[in-house]
Amino acid sequence: MPDQAPDPLSIRRLYGRAQGHPLRERAQRLVDDLLPRLAIPTEGPLTPETLFGDARPLAFEVGFGKGEHLAFQAARRPDWGFIGAEPYLNGVAGLLAEIEDHSLSNIRIHRGDAIDVLERLPDQSLSALYLLHPDPWPKERHAKRRFVNPGPLQLVHAKLRPNAEFRIATDHVNYMRHVMYVMQNQPGFEWTAESPSDWESIPEDWPDTRFAEKARKLGHHVWRLIYKRL
Ligand SMILES: C[S@@+](CC[C@H](N)C(=O)[O-])C[C@H]1O[C@@H](n2cnc3c(N)ncnc32)[C@H](O)[C@@H]1O
């Protein structure tokens, strides 16, 4: 048998948790009633028109956790459309609660692997992509599961518009080093930091996520990197 070429999108398999504690009453109601109305259709073209009814800019968050950052961005830009992908059901329920609490009408949700939705979007259709505290897979033998790898990055590059931002946050020093090394060698992206103050400053439209807050409480540094799609 010849060796099989490795899947360049090898993070496609989901390794994380699909569900945590049983959902409370409100969360279950949101999953049963609201999620079907906001879920990304499983077939057909995915464009701003099919998702939101007009030609608005689109942004995407990979692994939104409980959804507080995605809800923040959606409230800040009501004229944009936001797509979030997250396999963890309790996280999806968290985003649904944010959507209901803040009457947000510009978010669509995929409960599952971000890659499955990303690859269905038209090329150069995204104005921003957020990857905040991705699972770090710290062991070297698991490094191919990291989102920041050439296969997923080629897809991200294809889907972002020129000059669109690709934002990455991590509190793992090794993941930060991995990001910097891989992104430096990945054609079509430019790190926007020009001075140490850029590296340390926190953009006002980038609130901490739950993971960032937890990391800071543990005394970890949180790195934020902004890349521009060339
Ligand atoms: C460490 S958590 C960070 C959550 C959130 N972004 C935050 O900062 O609080 C990583 C998240 O990525 C999600 N995830 C893992 N693999 C994924 C994939 N292939 N597509 C989308 N989300 C994924 C996990 O379920 C988890 O919620």
pLDDT digits (tens, 9 = 90+) for 86-137: 999 999 999 999 999 999 999 999 999 999 999 999 999 999 999 999 999 9
Indicate whether 32 pLDDT > 60. yes
Indicate whether 199 pLDDT > 80. no
18 band by pLDDT with thresholds 50, 70 and 90: confident
Q: Is 33 exposed, middle or buried (0-12, 13-18, 19+ CB in 10 A)?
A: exposed
pLDDT at site 14: 56
1 band by pLDDT with thresholds 50, 70 and 90: very low
Closest to 123 in 3D by CA, of 89, 93, 157: 157
Q: What span, in angstroms and rounded, lies between the C-alpha atoms of 191 and 184?
A: 8
Does 211 sit in the ligand 1 pocket, CB within 6 Å?
yes
Q: Which atom of ligand 1 is nearest to the CA of 91?
A: 27
Which of 10, 12, 14, 224 most suits a substitution to test ligand 1, by most atoms within 8 Å of the C-beta?
14
**Which carries the bigger pLDDT value, residue 28 or residue 140?**
28
Q: What span, in angstroms and rounded, lies between the C-alpha atoms of 91 and 89?
A: 5
Which residue CA neighbors atom 19 of ligand 1 most closely?
Answer: 113
pLDDT at site 179: 97
Does 60 sit in the ligand 1 pocket, CB within 6 Å?
no
Domains of the chain: 36-229 (3.40.50.150)
**CA distances (Å), 124 to each of 28, 114, 119, 183, 203, in order?**
36, 17, 11, 19, 24
> How does pLDDT run across 140-160, given as a tens digit for each residue?
888 888 999 999 999 999 999
pLDDT at site 49: 97
Which of 175, 211, 223 most suits a substitution to test ligand 1, by most atoms within 8 Å of the C-beta?
211
Does 206 sit in the ligand 1 pocket, CB within 6 Å?
no
- Averaged pLDDT score across all residues of the chain: 92
Does 94 sit in the ligand 1 pocket, CB within 6 Å?
no
Gap from CA of 6 to ligand 1 centroid (Å): 23
pLDDT at site 201: 78
pLDDT at site 17: 74
pLDDT at site 4: 47
Handedness of CA 175, 16, 68, 113 (dihedral sign): positive
Q: What span, in angstroms and rounded, lies between the C-alpha atoms of 168 and 225?
A: 5
Indicate whether 69 pLDDT > 80. yes
